[in-house]
Structure 1
């Protein structure tokens, strides 16, 4: 019987789950059964090809920022508040699943605590390494505990202060959104603005000003928007959509943050990109935005633009060569990464004496 793979999914934003579903489906085609593990309230897991283990919530409150604020926290952890029954049950369920299923590997996307738990359970792990400068003790110890690291972006986009041993341990998977790179369909000139789950969303008054600053373009907005007001005829609010790609396909310009999900979709469709990196821990989006700007794959602006800046930013964005960002999307990234994970499963499932020299 083939030993299963466990895939831990962080609940901040939707990109982690989208990546997990795409990879687990690719692994299932190779005969490797996958179980997704995480807190999935409000997230769509219907695309998962195998079992889903829903874990109790570990947040202290809805303003979860990944840290518990404890001054006496052990240095190898980010988030270990005491007397939290959700965390106790969460870790217990992961441990019980591992004891019952004897997994070949656990993919951790992302959690320093789950990475160290996998090591304590004597289960090999593949820990996802996101962009940015992650040289704090918990990240480095999680990286050290892992069998390998997985960067869900091309090596050309790696940025921040990354130790050499971390880079050498990293498998660069490329964009793993499940959409192959292809020529974009015919565009109709629209501007598409995207707000993800992981951020604060958009403000209607600011969007009205942006649409008014570039009135000859239709503006389509995906994701959460707050505020009230009368939108001009060229501004269309679509709310949250499960798959942004059909909405991006006709866009002449995409506007949004530097989250993995959006950057993956922009590259896969070869879209001109105005990148507005959002504040994130460890400068995750800033590091990715700098790399995109350096490669000429995006126009980057920090913060939401003032009304008077929009016309010039749109002009510069429309002047980009979309082939630059399209070349970052490797058509075989998903299948290549799944094959590498399957090979790691086979190797990790052996005892030291069974491995080939």
Structure 2
């Protein structure tokens, strides 16, 4: 029997789930079974590449900010609240699954605590290393515990404060799951995307932006709060499962620097006005800086003032879309799956 891979999927944002599904299917194509492990409330798991191990939620409140409220904790941990029965149960289920299935590898995307737990369970791990400044003790100890590290972005987007031993241990996967939608001509529209892990859009600000650029149709994907009178060129679609068909016709895409959106924009080769959102360890800011450095996106910190929109849209439309498209490696997913399979074989 082929030993499986366990893939721990963090529940904040949609990018972790999308990456896990893409990699899991690629591994299954190589004959390596993959079980996705995580808290999947609100996620349609029908697309999973195999079994799913659902865990109790470890959050202390509905909104997760990564803080556990503890007065003190071991230096190797980020999040370890005391007296939380959900955490005891989730760690017990991971341990039971590992004991029963004898996994060849645990992919951890992402959790310093689960990375260290995999080592305690004597399971080799591949720990996902995201963008941003991750030189604090918990991250470095998780990286040290891992067999290898996986960066889900091209090496050209890596930051400058990464210790050399961490970089040497990293396999740069590139953009994973960067599949293009069926080609169609651009119709001049602007597409604004808000992801699951952020605060969403504010309707009054969207209405102001669309009114300042009235010659373009504005299509908004994702959660939007607030209400008001919409200009005729503003269309709010709410949450959509697949943004790619909407991006295909866009002349300009506006959104944060989350992995899912950046991957989709690069795959489509779209001009990109990137508005990085505040994330722990400067994750989105670091990725946006890399895109700007390569001329692959126009970056603006935070939501622009209303009077800035005409100029920003004009500058965004002047971008060369081949710059961001050049970051996509067509074989990234297959290449990464092959390297994971090699790691499983030892």
TM-score range, shorter chain: over 0.9
**What is the SS of the residue equivalent to 1:141?**
helix
Matching residue of 1:227: 226
Distance 1:160 1:72 in 2: 30
Deviations 1:113-134 (A, max 9, x none): 0000000000000000000000
Aligned position for 1:353 = none
Equivalent residue number for residue 351 of structure 1:
none
CA-CA distance at 1:43 after TM superposition: 1.2
Tell me the residue number matched to 1:147: 147
Following superposition, the deviation at residue 178 of structure 1 comes to: 4.5
CA distance, structure 1, for counterparts of residue 46 and residue 327 of structure 2: 29
> Within 1, Cα distance between the matches of 2:224 and 2:337?
36
TM-score, normalising length: structure 2: 0.99
> How far apart are residue 179 of structure 1 and its match?
1.0
User: 2:315 — aligned with what?
Assistant: 316
Maintained 8 Å contact 1:255/1:274: yes
- Equivalent position SS for 1:107: strand
The DSSP-based 3-state class of the residue aligned with 2:115 is: helix
With normalisation by structure 1, the TM-score equals: 0.96
Report the Cα distance in structure 2 between the residues aligned to 1:183 and 1:290, rounded to whole angstroms. 30
Count of aligned residue pairs for this structure pair: 346
Q: Per-residue deviation at 1:145?
A: 0.1
Q: Secondary structure at the match of 1:46?
A: helix
Matched, 1:10 2:6: no
Structure 1 position 160, deviation (Å) = 4.6
CA displacement, residues 81-129 of structure 1 (integer Å, 9 cap, x when unaligned): 1110000000000000000000000000000000000000000000000
Superposition pairs of residues 173-212 of structure 1, within 5 angstroms? 173-179=173-179, 185-212=184-211
The answer for the alignment partner of 1:62 in structure 2 is 62
Q: How does 1:25-174 map to 2 (within 5 A)?
A: 25-174=25-174
Q: Deviation at 1:183?
A: 9.3
SS where residue 90 of structure 1 aligns?
helix
1:184, distance to aligned residue in structure 2 (A)? 5.2
Name the counterpart of 1:350: none
Question: 1:190-238, CA deviations, whole angstroms, 9 ceiling, x for partnerless residues?
Answer: 0000000110000000000000010000000000000011111100000
Tell me if the contact between 2:178 and 2:328 (Cα under 8 Å) persists in the aligned partners. no
Report if the CA contact (8 A) 1:195-1:201 is conserved.
Answer: yes
Per-residue Cα deviation, 1:242-298 (whole angstroms, up to 9, x for no partner)? 111010000000000000000000000000000000001100000000000000000
Q: Give unpaired runs (5+ residues) of structure 2.
A: none
2: CA distance between counterparts of 1:146 and 1:179?
Answer: 29
Q: What secondary structure sits across from 2:46 in the alignment?
A: coil
2: CA distance, partners of 1:148 / 1:66:
24
Q: Deviations over 1:132-169 (max 9, x none)?
A: 00001000000000000000000011115211100000
1:69: how far off? 2.8
CA contact (8 A) 1:221 1:239 kept: yes
Contact 2:70–2:82 (CA under 8 A) maintained in structure 1:
no
Q: Deviations over 1:66-86 (max 9, x none)?
A: 121323200000011111000
SS of match in other structure, 1:310: helix
Unaligned stretches of 5+ residues in structure 1: 348-357
Output the CA distance in 2 between the equivalents of 1:167 and 1:270.
28
Cα distance, 1:287–1:160 mapped onto 2, change above 3 Å: farther
Partner of 2:334, secondary structure, is: helix
SS of 2:242's equivalent in the other structure is coil
Partners of 2:280 and 2:324 in 1: CA distance: 25
Q: Structure 2 vs 1, CA of residues 178 and 24 (structure 1 numbering), >3 Å: closer, same or farther?
A: farther
